[in-house]
């Protein structure tokens, strides 16, 4: 827009955009949502009515091409993330894209290339909520303080009952929509990579235990290709070994926890409660570690993104750039190949 106000075009106006992004965007000065497109015209009209959006389009390309749109805000499911992001960047628009980045590494690669070709534009992925509260403290403990010394082993478990809550096929379980994304594997790995660094190898085992689910619209049963159980072992680039395990089948799910064992101590991060336990080799047992008030991270990712657009810094806070998010997509792709072929896969991929 030309009056100093940034115009936002929404593509995909589902619950996450309505309940999370819009309330925060409304708090940012000199920002206006000027266009919206959604899968159904009726839901786009309801969104426009609720948030006073003047332009409603049936085709997302019309949002991208609208002259008053400076930022394309993508809230669709993953199968559209790559084509919308690439089109928006090529049209000279900044891009904020809902996680997960894309369906597969090939799509993520096109997004990363488009962002690299337009370095004056800001392109970022919505960050996961896991580990946000204690992010700064964990990075200090592991980096500056070297609380556990040299990391030797990492173990993470994330068990939920999401796969057994109902028999309907959720979009996250639809391979055509989600691709290699499994449960919250990719976005959780983004957190782990931030704290521990990238992976060097992966050997994965996946399983689809519930092999058919009902299509929520037709009520017909459809085969399921997205795993509901995922285990990965391997080596980090730092030389530490890791075991990560996800399940959507846990009826009485335990806490989601990250255990880190170093040559000088142990750290435990509870990903459900954002609490930390730790002990050095001289301590008798694990004790709570306070997250200092000045390290508590309570980000407004929407405001951070808008600030990055305005100041030209590209610093989007916790929201990963396309280049950084590409790393977790590479892990997902490597894990998919490993599970398919029954072998260890090296990272980065060829």
In this prediction, residue 91 carries a pLDDT of: 98
Q: Report d(CA 243, CA 240) in Å as an integer.
A: 10
C-alpha pair distances (Å), 321 with each of 76, 95, 112, 190:
18, 10, 9, 11
Distance of CA 40 to the CA centre of its chain: 25
Please name which of 236, 238, 256, 252 lies closest in space to residue 331, comparing C-alpha atoms.
236
Token digits of residue 81: 């993330």
Six-digit token pair at 228?
């509901």
Give 29: exposed, middle or buried? Use CB within 10 Å, 0-12, 13-18, 19+.
exposed
Tell me how many degrees the CA angle 160-166-171 measures, rounded to the nearest 5: 80
First to last CA, the chain: 42
Q: Is 40 exposed, middle or buried (0-12, 13-18, 19+ CB in 10 A)?
A: exposed
Model pLDDT, residue 326: 97
pLDDT at 253: 79
Listed residue (116, 161, 101, 111) closest to 329, CA to CA? 101
Full pLDDT tens readout for the chain, 350 residues = 667 899 999 999 999 999 999 999 999 999 999 999 999 999 999 999 999 999 999 999 999 999 999 999 999 999 999 999 999 999 999 999 999 999 999 999 999 999 999 999 999 999 988 999 999 999 999 999 999 999 999 999 999 988 888 889 999 999 999 999 999 999 999 999 999 999 999 999 999 999 999 999 899 999 999 999 999 999 999 999 999 999 999 988 788 999 999 999 999 999 999 999 999 999 999 999 999 999 998 778 999 999 999 998 889 989 999 999 999 999 999 999 999 999 999 999 97
Q: Which residue has the tokens 């846990």?
A: 250
CB contact set of 341 (below 8 Å; sequence gap of 6+) = none
For 259, the 3-state DSSP assignment is strand
Cα–Cα nearest to 132, from 185, 197, 74, 188: 188
Alpha-carbon span 57 to 34, nearest angstrom: 11
Query: Mind listing the domains of the chain with CATH numbers?
Result: 6-128+300-321 (3.40.50.720), 135-295+329-346 (3.30.360.10)
Alpha-carbon distance 102 to 334, whole Å?
Answer: 15
Beta carbons of 70 and 45 less than 8 angstroms apart: no
The stretches of the chain forming alpha helices (DSSP H) are 15-16, 22-25, 41-51, 60-65, 81-90, 105-117, 135-139, 175-178, 185-196, 301-311, 322-341
Are 195 and 140 in contact by the 8 Å Cβ rule? The answer is no
Nearest Cα to Cα of residue 110 among 348, 326, 332, 349: 326
- What is the structure's pLDDT at 1? 63
**Phi and psi at residue 42, to the nearest 5°:** -65, -40
Instruction: Output the pTM of the full model.
Output: 0.94
């Amino acid at each position: 827009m030309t009056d100093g106000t940034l115009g936002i075009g929404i593509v995909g106006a589902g619950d996450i955009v309505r309940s999370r992004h819009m309330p925060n965007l409304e708090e940012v000065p000199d920002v206006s949502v000027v266009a919206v497109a959604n899968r159904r015209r009726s839901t786009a009209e309801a969104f426009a009515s609720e948030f006073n959006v003047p332009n409603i389009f049936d085709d997302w390309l019309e949002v991208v091409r609208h002259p008053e749109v400076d930022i394309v805000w993508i809230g669709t499911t993953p199968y559209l993330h790559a084509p919308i992001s690439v089109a928006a960047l090529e049209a000279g628009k900044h891009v904020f894209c809902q996680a997960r980045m894309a369906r597969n590494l090939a799509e993520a690669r096109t997004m990363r290339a488009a962002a690299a070709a337009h370095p004056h534009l800001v392109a970022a992925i919505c960050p996961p909520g896991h580990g946000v509260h204690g992010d700064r403290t964990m990075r200090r403990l592991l980096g500056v303080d070297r609380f556990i010394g040299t990391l030797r082993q990492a173990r993470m478990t994330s068990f939920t009952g999401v796969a057994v809550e109902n028999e309907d096929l959720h979009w996250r379980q639809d391979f055509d929509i989600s691709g290699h994304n499994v449960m919250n594997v990719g976005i959780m790995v983004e957190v782990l990579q931030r704290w521990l660094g990238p992976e060097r190898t992966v050997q994965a085992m996946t399983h689809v235990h519930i092999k058919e689910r009902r299509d929520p619209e037709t009520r017909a049963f459809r085969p399921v290709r997205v795993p509901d159980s995922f285990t990965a072992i391997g080596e980090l680039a730092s030389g530490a070994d890791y075991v990560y395990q996800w399940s959507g089948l846990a009826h009485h799910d335990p806490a989601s926890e990250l255990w880190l064992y170093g040559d000088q101590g142990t750290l435990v991060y509870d990903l459900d409660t954002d609490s930390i336990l730790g002990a050095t080799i001289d301590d008798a047992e694990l004790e709570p570690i306070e997250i200092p008030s000045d390290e508590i991270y309570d980000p407004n990712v929407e405001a951070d993104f808008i600030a990055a657009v305005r100041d030209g810094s590209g610093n989007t806070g916790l929201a990963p750039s396309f280049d950084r998010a590409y790393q977790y997509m590479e892990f997902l792709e490597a894990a998919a190949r490993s599970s398919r072929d029954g072998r260890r896969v090296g990272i980065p991929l060829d």
